[in-house]
Amino acid sequence: MAKGGHAWLTAIGESAALLSSVLRVIHPDLYAMARSSMDEMFTHENLADILHMWMSVFNGVSVICNRETPVHRDNYSSSEWYDMLTTIGPYESAIFELPGVGLRFPYPSGTIIGLCGRVLRHGVSVARGERVCLAYYMRKNVQDRLTNSFASWNSWNAYI
């Protein structure tokens, strides 16, 4: 991996670990599935070096900079799984929208959103200023290749 990639993974490491911790609180079974998957991936020699720098239990991240995100669903996940979205930067006036349930929220810098992105259509308006969104997710095809069971819908029983 190029030096820039190492530097970037190091720079986002603390934030990635924090978002993984949030997932552990809001969907414990999904966190356990993802943690187990990461542990299994460490056994693959070609992945071990990079995984030492990857501080997230999520197996993917997208970086979205200074643009509107049209309303969409995340089709490569599983309905029961949460994506984690966080946004940073000196900007104003961004709106996070869930049109299927008729909700719109202010989306200021530092916001963290966990949602079932495959189920809920979502999007973000244009903002004034510099905005970066890190969208962490898990791909179903990665889980299919691993021997772990799939996390189901979160329930109160996970907290008992």
Question: Per the structure, how many domains does the chain have?
Answer: 1
* CATH number of the CATH domain containing 93: 3.60.130.30
Domain assignment present for 16: yes
Does residue 129 carry a pLDDT above 90?
yes
The token pair at 145 is 């290749």
Question: 83 is in which domain, residue-wise?
Answer: 3-149
Place of tokens 């079974």: 29
Could you say which DSSP state residue 158 is in? G
Domain assignment present for 159: no
Mean pLDDT (the chain) is: 90
Residues ≥6 apart with Cβ < 8 Å to 59: 34, 37, 38, 41, 137, 138, 139, 142
**Nearest to 64, CA basis, from 131, 129, 130, 133:** 133
Domain assignment present for 158: no
Domain assignment present for 157: no
Strand partners, 123: 97
What burial class does residue 156 get, using C-beta atoms within 10 Å of its C-beta: 0-12 exposed, 13-18 middle, 19+ buried?
A: exposed
- Give me the mean pLDDT over the 45-51 stretch: 80
Could you say which DSSP state residue 27 is in? -
**pLDDT digits 0-9 by tens, 51-87:** 888 899 999 999 999 999 999 999 989 999 999 999 9
Give, in degrees to the nearest 5, the angle at Cα 56 between 20 and 43.
Answer: 125
Domain assignment present for 134: yes
Does residue 19 carry a pLDDT above 60?
yes
% the chain with pLDDT above 70? 98
Domain assignment present for 53: yes
Domain assignment present for 160: no
Domain assignment present for 124: yes
